[in-house]
Amino acid sequence: MAANETRDTRIAENEAAFRAANESLRVVFENDEGADRYPFLCECGDPRCTVVVMLGLDAYAGLREHPSRFVIAPGHKQLDTETILEEGEGFQLIEKTGVAGDIARAHWQIPANEMRPA
């Protein structure tokens, strides 16, 4: 595996972990009807990142419909295979392609509130 692929893989794995943590936060926030925006973790690939991005639950749910999309703090884009799709107040919505996109799709789970019985 090439050095760039190894780096991309490590970053994508970190981002998938942050996405999983944000899904846990979303479940908690859905029970609170008092705020317009909620604090989510930046889903960049830096495992030391502690930046919080503020999003409404509808905006967060919209980005979770796509397995290769992540929310990050402005300036936290790390890979050439990440494309900024949208910029808002204190956040950027990115989409991954290449190895990082493949890993994101492999780790993606349909949010629990959208699962349908078999």
Give me 54's structure tokens.
Answer: 């503020």
For residues 91 and 11, the model is more confident at 91
Q: What's residue 34's pLDDT?
A: 76
For residues 23 and 116, the model is more confident at 23
Give 1's DSSP letter. -
Report whether pLDDT(54) > 70: yes
Q: What's residue 51's pLDDT?
A: 95
- Say which range, 1-5, 9-13, 18-22, 93-97, has the weakest mean pLDDT: 1-5
Please answer whether residues 76 and 52 qualify as being in contact, where contact means their C-beta atoms are separated by less than 8 angstroms. Answer: no
